[in-house]
Amino acid sequence: MTKYPTGVEAHGESLRIWFMYNGRRHRENLGVPDTLKNRRMAGELRASVCFAIKMGTFDYALQFPNSSTINHKPAQGKDITITELAEKWLDLKSTEITKNALNRYTSYIDVCAFLIGSSRNISSVLYEDILSLRKLLLTGNQICGTHQKNRNKKKGRSVRTVNVYLSCFKAMMEFAVNCGYLQSSPFTGIKPLKRAKTEPDPLTREEFTRFIACCSNAQIRNLWTLAVSTGMRHGELCALSWEDIDTRNWTITVRRNLPIKDHFTPPKTTSGVRTIALTIPAINALKSQMLYTKMSRPVEVDVHLREYGRVRKDLCSFVFKPQQSSNNGTGGEWYAPGSFGTTWNSTLKRAGIRHRKAYESRHTFACWALSAGANPNFIAEQMGHTSAQMVYTVYGKWMADNNSSQIDILNATFTQNAPSMPHAVNSSH
Question: Per-residue pLDDT for the chain (429 aa), expressed as one digit of tens each?
Answer: 568 899 899 888 889 999 988 767 888 998 889 898 889 999 999 999 998 888 878 888 888 888 877 654 444 556 799 999 999 999 999 988 888 899 999 999 999 999 999 889 999 999 999 999 999 999 886 544 434 444 445 578 999 999 999 999 999 999 999 998 988 899 988 999 998 878 889 999 999 999 999 999 999 999 999 999 999 999 999 999 999 999 999 999 999 999 988 899 999 888 889 999 999 999 999 999 999 999 999 999 999 998 888 999 999 999 999 987 766 556 788 998 888 889 999 999 999 999 999 999 999 999 888 888 888 899 999 999 888 888 888 887 766 555 555 556 556 656 555 555 555 555 555
CATH code of the domain containing 324: 1.10.443.10
Annotated active-site residue 233? The verdict is: yes
Asked whether residue 397 is domain-assigned, the answer is no
288 with 220, same domain: the answer is yes
Is the entire prediction scored with pTM above 0.75? no
Q: Are residues 106 and 158 in the same domain?
A: yes
In a domain, 375, yes or no: no
Q: Is residue 340 part of a domain?
A: yes
Catalytic residue from among 255, 256, 362, 363 = 362
Q: Which domain holds residue 300?
A: 205-364
Bridge partners (DSSP) of residue 316 are 299
- 196 in any annotated domain: no
- Give the integer Cα–Cα distance in Å for 39 and 47: 12
Known catalytic membership, residue 24: no
Q: Which of 54, 170, 356, 385 is catalytic?
A: 385
Count the Cβ atoms, other than its own, within 10 Å of residue 195. 12
Instruction: Reply yes or no on whether 99 is catalytic.
Output: no
172 and 257 in a single domain? The answer is no
> What integer pLDDT is reported at residue 57 of this predicted model?
83
How does pLDDT run across 99-145, given as a tens digit for each residue? 889 999 999 999 999 999 988 999 999 999 999 999 999 988 654 44
Q: Count up the domains in the chain and report the number.
A: 3
**Do residues 290 and 342 share a domain?**
yes
Residue pair 239/264 in contact by the 8 Å Cβ criterion: yes
For residues 231 and 325, membership in a common domain is answered with yes
Q: Are 111 and 165 in contact (CB under 8 A)?
A: yes
Residue 429 lies in a domain: no
Name the catalytic one among 21, 127, 181, 395. Answer: 395
Name the active-site residue from 46, 120, 233, 256: 233
Q: Looking at 160, 178, 196, which one is the last position of a domain?
A: 178
171 and 218 inside one domain: no
Residue 37: active-site member: no
| Catalytic entry in 268, 294, 304, 350 | 268
* One domain for residues 340 and 232: yes
Same domain, 136 and 52: no
What is d(CA 16, CA 63) in angstroms, rounded to the nearest whole number? 14
* Cα–Cα dist 159/236, whole Å: 28
Last residue of a domain, one of 34, 52, 72: 72
297 and 324 co-located in one domain: yes
385 is catalytic: yes
- Do 386 and 269 touch, CB atoms closer than 8 A? yes
Same domain, 68 and 115: no
